[in-house]
A and B are shown apart, each in its own frame.
Chain A
Amino acid sequence: GENVEQHPSTLSVQEGDSAVIKCTYSDSASNYFPWYKQELGKRPQLIIDIRSNVGEKKDQRIAVTLNKTAKHFSLHITETQPEDSAVYFCAASTAGAAGNKLTFGGGTRVLVKP
């Protein structure tokens, strides 16, 4: 089955700096790569996603890149703010006979210091 590795596990940045989280996946058939943000005590929520026919996608201060050849994808947060502090999960969706299931990476705890 699909295996998603995520690095780093923790990331501390100064407010205003950029944060980068990297993920690799194992199943070359995966075609959908979402990123979820989970604030403390809350549920994971989708912040951005990218599909395999696109190499890069941007939404305000966040951007994702995808390299299908190398089977890795990354999340970039620019001009970080304290409210960006949370745990971020990457995921890969693997097609199955009756629908796709989402496999998550281990998560990255991001702390933005004021």
Chain B
Amino acid sequence: DAGVIQSPRHEVTEMGQEVTLRCKPISGHNSLFWYRQTMMRGLELLIYFNNNVPIDDSGMPEDRFSAKMPNASFSTLKIQPSEPRDSAVYFCAYRQGGDTGELFFGEGSRLTVL
């Protein structure tokens, strides 16, 4: 299923470096979500967009995290500076079909911060 393409799939970086994660959903969706998954905290919603507009960013851990969606086919999640506790799998997901439609997840970006 190539509904959502995330890159990079794996990234290893050193503490203090900037990390940019990318998401390309298929066209025609109306909502896009960024989730973070760790063993300790499970799947956490970081931010979601509706029609490219950020609606709720209350899950963004702190100012080091930022997300943008310049158009319907592209979104980025940036961490600057990165810290070891940011190590996680970051998923991008889109939703079609109204407010309670199925979420389609990308394959995720596994981030390791040393």
Could you tell me which A residues sit within 8 Å of B by CB distance? 1, 31-32, 34, 36, 42-46, 49, 51, 89, 93, 95-96, 98-107
Contact = CB atoms under 8 A, between A and B. Distances in A.
A102 B42 contact: no
Interface string B1-40: 0000000000000000000000000000011010100000
Interface of B: 30-31, 33, 35, 42-43, 45, 48, 50, 53, 55-56, 58, 91, 99-100, 102-103, 105-108
A46 B95 CA distance: 12
A1 B58 contact: yes
Please provide the 9 A-B residue pairs with the shortest distance between their CB atoms, ordered closest to farther: A32-B100, A43-B105, A104-B43, A99-B50, A100-B99, A106-B42, A46-B102, A98-B50, A98-B55
A104 B100 contact: no
A103 B31 contact: no
